[in-house]
Amino acid sequence: MDHGTPRTVSLSAVPETLLWNLYHRSFAARQPSAAFEDPRSVALVDSIDYPFEETFGPPSPFLAQGQALRVLTFDAVVRDFLAEHPDGTVVALGEGLETQFWRVDNGRVHWLSVDLPETVAVRRDLLADGERRRTLACSALDPAWIEEVDTSRGVLVTAQGLLMYLRPAEVRELIARCAEHFPGGALVFDAVPRWFSARTTHGGMTTVQGYTTPPMPWGMNAGELSKVFTAHPGITEVREVPVPRGDGLFFGTVAPLARRVPGVRNLRPTMTVLARFAPR
Ligand SMILES: C[S@@+](CC[C@H](N)C(=O)[O-])C[C@H]1O[C@@H](n2cnc3c(N)ncnc32)[C@H](O)[C@@H]1O
């Protein structure tokens, strides 16, 4: 990463949302007592010329904690995978400027980051590829990225903050494609509930801080997890991944309880899901 002249970043629509995530993740990592360590995200924000505060509003400690807990949930899945497959391949679909590689690197993992060309141009400038880490400019909906994956030592596909921006049929096809091509592998993704998706479909949703998200056409309720099995016969397990307990009334008490209460659990704005695929 070049710490000289800030790199101007100009993205729009869904690619711009990666900056919202980065902004809040880095804010969480900057807190003196942060349980969440992500110095790369802090350095990234400091090296980018982009009107973060004008676009997304003042940083919100609440949203930042939510963002940190979400990525910690994904990190735990990646670490579990690496415990079983230390030389395995992580394919990060729609990775944006995620810095997960640096949070979980075991010195052996192989990493393939797949994103749209405009995002990849920014990522490559700011986070140059390394010996075990490659960036590919390719839509997750284009099956071409599959040919780039080394399947010899285990595969985990991650889709953090991506599937909600796709259409339902595209999500189904993507899940099926992963199950078909990565037997013995797994896919971890997050989903917004249907009410949340519905609120965004007419021009997006505006946050209290004044940022309007792009529409999120795909939503799935926590009570619908079993529907994921219908995407492909090779899917053997589908389960929600618990979010670590956070601080304060909401993240420390309400959110962990809400996960266990049918009906109420669908009110949560996001959940993380792990789908495993049968070996061939
Ligand atoms: C909300 S951001 C998430 C970024 C990152 N995963 C994170 O959690 O910080 C959405 C990301 O999806 C990417 N994206 C959108 N459509 C895509 C597609 N069809 N294929 C691959 N990436 C896509 C965007 O460029 C952006 O990086």
Answer whether 63 contacts ligand 1 (Cβ < 6 A).
no
pLDDT digits (tens, 9 = 90+) for 77-132: 999 999 999 999 999 999 999 999 999 999 999 999 999 999 999 999 999 999 99
Answer whether 18 contacts ligand 1 (Cβ < 6 A).
yes
pLDDT of 4 over the 80 cut: no
From CA 104, how far away is CA 30, in angstroms rounded? 19
Q: Is the distance from CB of 116 to CB of 139 less than 8 angstroms?
A: yes
pLDDT at 227: 97
From CA 272, how far away is CA 189, in angstroms rounded? 6
Ligand 1 center to 171 CA (angstroms):
13
All structural domains of the chain, each given as residue ranges with its CATH number in brackets, are: 11-277 (3.40.50.150)
pLDDT digits (tens, 9 = 90+) for 60-76: 999 999 999 999 999 99
pLDDT at 3: 55
From CA 252, how far away is CA 258, in angstroms rounded? 11
pLDDT digits (tens, 9 = 90+) for 168-226: 999 999 999 999 999 999 999 999 999 999 999 888 889 888 889 999 999 999 999 99
Strands 186-191 and 133-137, bridge-based pairing: unpaired
pLDDT tier for residue 1 given thresholds of 50, 70 and 90: low
**End-to-end CA separation in angstroms for the chain:** 41
- The amino acid present at 14, given as its one-letter code, is V
Cα separation values, 41 from 98, 114, 246, Å: 8, 19, 20
